Amino acid sequence: MIKFTLKCADGHRFESWFQSAEAFDKLRAGGMVACAVCGATGVSKALMSPQVRPGRKSDAAAKAQEKPLSAPASAAEQALADLKRRIEASSDYVGMNFASEARAMHEGSTPERAIYGEARPDEARKLIEDGIPVAPLPFVPGRKSN
């Protein structure tokens, strides 16, 4: 379906829906398209502006709600960003192998080093129950990829 803005010879403007541009041409040639105001059959397409729907948020609204990633707003956010930066700079990211790496270091089968990563809740609970010193991070670690 397509909507056209139409006008008659007397200058009346109106809108109408058609199955396609070809369907409009065929109906107009057969004299079946008439002005909605005066009934004249001398109807043609008028200049139309496209109807474009805006995105979910306009650019201005989206920018107003965005916070720059490099400059946290509060002192607490700044401290958290600094902590994350220090941990990532001085520790090895072991990803989902965190529980097995921490256990291996505790048992002495792997040399001790600073690590951070991710563990399922049941794995983290088991590490704590076994007396392995671990602590949750107050941020989600950035995943490193190849």
List, for residues 19-32, the tens digit of each pLDDT value: 888 988 998 888 88
C-alpha span between 48 and 45 (Å, rounded): 8
Q: Are residues 102 and 41 in the same domain?
A: no
The answer to which of 22-26, 47-51, 77-81 has the lowest mean pLDDT is 47-51
Q: Is the pLDDT of residue 72 over 80?
A: no
Q: Which domain holds residue 145?
A: 70-146
Angle between helices 98-107 and 121-129 (to 10 degrees): 10
Quote the pLDDT of residue 103.
Answer: 94
Name the most confidently modeled range: 9-23, 26-40, 117-131.
117-131
| Under 8 Å between Cβ of 59 and 82 | no
* Token couple for 23: 């369907």
| Under 8 Å between Cβ of 101 and 76 | no
User: How many folded domains does the chain comprise?
Assistant: 2
Is pTM beyond 0.75? Reply is no
Q: Are residues 35 and 87 in the same domain?
A: no
Q: Is the pLDDT of residue 49 over 90?
A: no
Quote the pLDDT of residue 60.
Answer: 59
Q: Is residue 94 part of a domain?
A: yes
Q: Is residue 10 part of a domain?
A: yes
Q: Is residue 37 part of a domain?
A: yes
Q: Is residue 35 part of a domain?
A: yes
Q: Are residues 35 and 91 in the same domain?
A: no
